Amino acid sequence: MTDLKKRSLLQAAALSAIAATALVACGKKEEPAPAAAPTAAAPASAPAAPKPEPLKIAFAYIGPVGDGGWTFAHDNGRKAVEKEFGDKVVTSFVENVPESADAERVIRDMASQGNKLIFGTTFGYMESMIKVAGDHKDVKFEHATGYKTADNLRTYDSRTYEGAYMAGVIAGKMTKTNTLGVVGSVPIPEVVRNINSFTLGAQSVNPKIKTKVVWVGKWFDPPNETAAATSLINGGADVLMQNTDSSAVLQTAEKMGKRAFGWDSDMTSYGPKAHLGSAVINWGPYYVKATRDALEGTWKGNEQSWWGVKEGAIDMVSIAEDVPEETKKKIEEVKAGLKDGSFVIWKGPLKDNAGKEVLAKDAVADDKFLGGINFYVQGVEGKVPGGDKK
Amino acid sequence: MESYALLLAATLNAGTVLALAALGLLINEKAGIVNLGAEGMMLCAALAAFAAVVHSGSDTLGFLAGVGAAALLAAIFGVLVIWLNTNQYATGLALSLFGAGFSAFAGIGYVQEKLPERLHFTIPFLGDIPLLGPALFRQHPMVYLAIGLVAWLVWFLYRSRAGLVLRSVGESPESAHALGYPVRLIRLAAVVAGGALCGLAGAYLILVYTPLWVEGMVAGRGWIALALTTFATWRPARVLLGAYLFGGVTMLQFHLQGAGVDVATQFLTMLPYLATIVVLALISRNPTWIRVNMPASLGKPFHPGS
C-alpha cells in the first residue's frame, strides 16, 4: 500500500469517526425524555387484550425541550396529554426541527410512521404541513400560530397578550421611574400587540407610564438580549419585559438590581430577586382537547383556535412577594374578568402614539384587528419598525 | 454624558469576546491553517466554563476549563488537517457543527443552572474617576488582557524569531521544512493556541457577558471573529480595532433604540456589519497590503517529502 493510499484511508476513517460521534450525539437528542419512556414502551408489553389501538401522536419542535421557554412549554403540553389519556395514546417528539425543507421531511416521516395526530409547534412549518396534509388525508394535523388550514389541518394559538397585560399591571405598580422597557424580538403583530398590551396594563394602574422598546431582530440571541436589556436600564427603565425566547433579560435585570418578568415558562429560578412574575403559556388544555376530539371522532379541520386565560392557556404565575396585595387582587380580577368575558383588554377609546384614534369609544377589537396590529399605543416611544406605511 | 461612558463600557465588554477569538484565529491563519470551527469551539468552551464554575465556584477553574475544552477540540482538528490532510474547510465546518450539537446535548442539564454571585472588579483609584472610571477601569481583567495580547502578538509576530518561524510556516511551509523546522508541529501548536484563545472568548462570554447557558448562546460570534481576521488583513491591531468597532456599533444601535432615535431597526441591525466592513476595507485599500499580509499557503495542505 502506498503512503498516499494509507493516508486517504486514515483520513476517511477519521472523518467517519467524527461523523459517527456527531450522529450519536444527534440521535440521542431525539430520544424522548426519560419521563416519556414508560408510556412509549407500554404498547409493546401490553397483553393482547381487546383494547383499541392507542392513538399515535407526534410533536415537531423548533427548539430543544430544555430551552426553558417556548419548546419547554409545548413539551409540558405533551406530558399533559399523556397524563390525561394514559395508554389510550402514544406520544413522541422530534426536537430542533429547523423551519426549512427538513420540517417537511420530519413531518412526512411522522405521518408515514402511523401517527394519526401531528402537532407542528412553530409558524415556519406552515407550508410543510399544508403539503404533507394534502398527501395524508387520514392524518389530522394541528399547526401552532399559523393561518392556513385544510380539511385535515387546523391551527391553534395563544393569547400571549393577556399575559403581557397582567405583567403590565404589576410593572405599572412596581416601577419607580415610570419608565418600562421591552426587549422585542421580531417586529410582527404578535410582538407589537404584546408590547402594547403590557403598556395598557401598566397604564391601567399608573397613567404616567412610558414604555421604551429595543428590538434585537431575532427570537434567540442571549448576548444581544443582554445588551438590549442593559441599554434599556441605562435609559431609565426599571421594570423590563421581553418577547424573546431566553431568560437573558431577566438575568440582566437581576445583575443590575432592576425587575423583570418570565415569559412563556416560569423563569423564577433564573433571577429570583428580579423576578416579578411569569406570563406563561399552558398548551396542555388545548392539546388535551385536540386529542379528545381525535379520540372521540369530533375532530374537524378548517378551524382556528386562539385560546387565552378563559381556556386556561395563559396565566400569570409566581408573582413576587413584594408585589402589594391590592395589585395581586387586581390580577385576580383581570383573570376572572377575562374568564367570564366581563373584561376586555382591547377596548376603545384608544389612540396610537401619533394621536390617531384606532378604536372608537366602547368599540371592542375583534381578532382580525388584533392580528394586524402594527402601531404603538400612546405611551410607547418610537415607531414600529416597518409598521408605518402612511 | 454618563450614557456615553456606559456605551464605552459596553463596547469594551462586547469587543473583548470578538477580539480574543479573532486573535486566536489570526495565530492559526498566520501558520497557514483556516479553522472554521470557531463557533463550535466557543460553544463547547462556554459550556465547559459554565459547568466548571457551577460545580466548583471558581472562576479561574471556569476559564481553565473553557480554554482546555477548546484547545482539545483544536488539537483534534489539528491532527486531522495537518497529519491526515483532511480538507481544512470541511473539517472546520464539521467541527463547528459537532461543537454546536455536542454542547447542546451535553448542556441539557445546565439549562436552568445559575452561576454563583459574580465578582465586581475595580482598579483602585482609577476606578473612582468620574464617568470614565467606571467605563474604563471597572472591567473584567480579561478586557485588559485582550489589549495586552495584541501588543504581545505584534511583538511576537514581527519582532521575535519564533514569530518569524511561525509566519514562514504559513508563507512557505516547504522552505521552512527545508530549513529543518518541524512544520507540522509548529502548525499544530498554532492551531492549539488559536483554539485556546477561542476557548477564552467562549468562557468570557458565558462567565462575564451573558451568564447563562442555553443552546447556541454564542449566536454567530465565532463566524464574526473569522470574518474579522480577513477584513483586518491579518494585522493584530486591526483585528482589535475591528472587534471594538463591531462591538461598539452593535451596542450603539441598542443605545440609539433605547434613546428613542427614529431610525429603522433593520438598518441599525445591519450597521455593525456594514461599519466594520467599510472601515476595515478603507484602511486596507492598498491591495498589496492584503497580498503582503495574507499567509501565502493559507488553507493549503502541506506534505513533507511529497
Q: pLDDT, tens digit, for every residue of B78-112?
A: 999 999 999 999 999 999 999 999 998 898 888 77
Mean pLDDT of B239-245: 93
Question: How far away is chain A from the Cα of B97, in angstroms, using its nearest Cα?
Answer: 8
Which of A219, A230, A255, A267 should we substitute to test contact with B (largest number of B Cβ atoms within 10 Å)?
Answer: A230
What is the per-residue pLDDT for A101?
84
> What residue of B is the nearest CA neighbor of A4?
B306
Phi, psi (degrees; rounded to nearest 5) at B148: -60, -35
Task: Give CA–CA dist A376/A356, Å, rounded.
Answer: 11
Radius of gyration of chain B (CA): 20
pTM of this structure? 0.77
Q: Contact B214/A223, CB-based, under 8 Å?
A: no
Which residues in chain B are contacts of A382 at CB distance < 8 A?
257, 260, 262
When CB atoms are compared, the residue of A26, A234, A270 closest to B101 is: A26
When CB atoms are compared, the residue of B111, B211, B251 closest to A251 is: B211
Mean pLDDT of B116-124: 72
When CB atoms are compared, the residue of B10, B97, B265 closest to A230 is: B10
Nearest by Cα to B14 from B303, B210, B294: B210
Phi, psi (degrees; rounded to nearest 5) at A115: -70, 135
Give the distance, in angstroms, between the CA of residue A372 and the centroid of all CA atoms in the same chain: 19
When pLDDT is cut at 50, 70 and 90, the band that residue A27 belongs to is: very low
Buried b vs exposed e over A268-278: b needs ≥16 C-beta within 10 Å?
A: bebbeebbbbb
Q: Contact B94/A231, CB-based, under 8 Å?
A: no
Sort strands A275-281 and A314-317 into parallel, antiparallel or unpaired: antiparallel
| Lookup: cell for A72 | 419547554
What is the per-residue pLDDT for B212?
82
What is the per-residue pLDDT for A30?
39
When CB atoms are compared, the residue of A4, A7, A226 closest to B209 is: A226
Residues of A (145-174) whose Cβ lies below 8 Å from B: none
Q: Which amino acid is at B58?
A: S
Give the Å distances, CA to CA, from B171 to B85, B174, B298.
18, 9, 8
Which residues in chain A are contacts of B140 at CB distance < 8 A?
none
Using the structure block, give the residue that is written with the C-alpha cell 393577556: A162
pLDDT in tens, B156-198: 999 999 999 999 999 999 999 999 999 999 999 999 999 999 9
| Lookup: cell for B77 | 482538528
pLDDT at A2 over 70: no
pLDDT in tens, B250-275: 888 888 887 777 777 778 778 888 88
Residues of A (325-354) whose Cβ lies below 8 Å from B: none
Q: Which one-letter DSSP state was computed for residue A387?
A: T
Question: How far away is chain A from the Cα of B230, in angstroms, using its nearest Cα?
Answer: 24
Residues of A (242-261) whose Cβ lies below 8 Å from B: 246-248, 251, 255
When pLDDT is cut at 50, 70 and 90, the band that residue A125 belongs to is: very high
> What residue of B is the nearest CA neighbor of A269?
B112
User: Are the C-beta atoms of residues A107 and A60 closer than 8 Å to each other?
Assistant: yes
| Lookup: cell for B192 | 492549539
Q: Contact B251/A231, CB-based, under 8 Å?
A: yes
Within 13 A of B74's CA, how many CA atoms are on the CB side? 34
Phi, psi (degrees; rounded to nearest 5) at A52: -70, 150
When mean pLDDT is compared across A18-27, A279-288, B53-62, B241-250, the lowest value belongs to A18-27
Which of B111, B184, B302 should we substitute to test contact with A (largest number of A Cβ atoms within 10 Å)?
Answer: B111
Q: Contact A232/B219, CB-based, under 8 Å?
A: no
Give the Å distances, CA to CA, from B168 to A100, B163, B180, B197.
45, 9, 12, 22
Neighbours of B162 (CB within 10 A): 11
Mean pLDDT of chain A: 86
User: Are the C-beta atoms of residues A284 and A290 closer than 8 Å to each other?
Assistant: no
Which value, to the nearest 10 degrees, does the dihedral of the CA atoms of residues B31, B83, B87, B45 take?
Answer: -70
Cβ-proximal residues to B290 (8 Å cutoff; 6+ apart), any chain: B233, B284
pLDDT in tens, B4-56: 787 888 889 889 999 999 999 999 999 999 999 999 999 999 999 999 999 99
Question: How far away is chain A from the Cα of B35, in angstroms, using its nearest Cα?
Answer: 16
What is the per-residue pLDDT for A48?
53
Buried b vs exposed e over B191-207: b needs ≥16 C-beta within 10 Å?
A: bbbbbbbbbbbbbbbbb
Mean pLDDT of B196-219: 90
Mean pLDDT of A158-180: 97
Phi, psi (degrees; rounded to nearest 5) at A89: -130, 155
When CB atoms are compared, the residue of B102, B205, B220 closest to A25 is: B102
pLDDT at B74 over 60: yes
What is the per-residue pLDDT for A324?
97
Q: Contact B91/A15, CB-based, under 8 Å?
A: yes
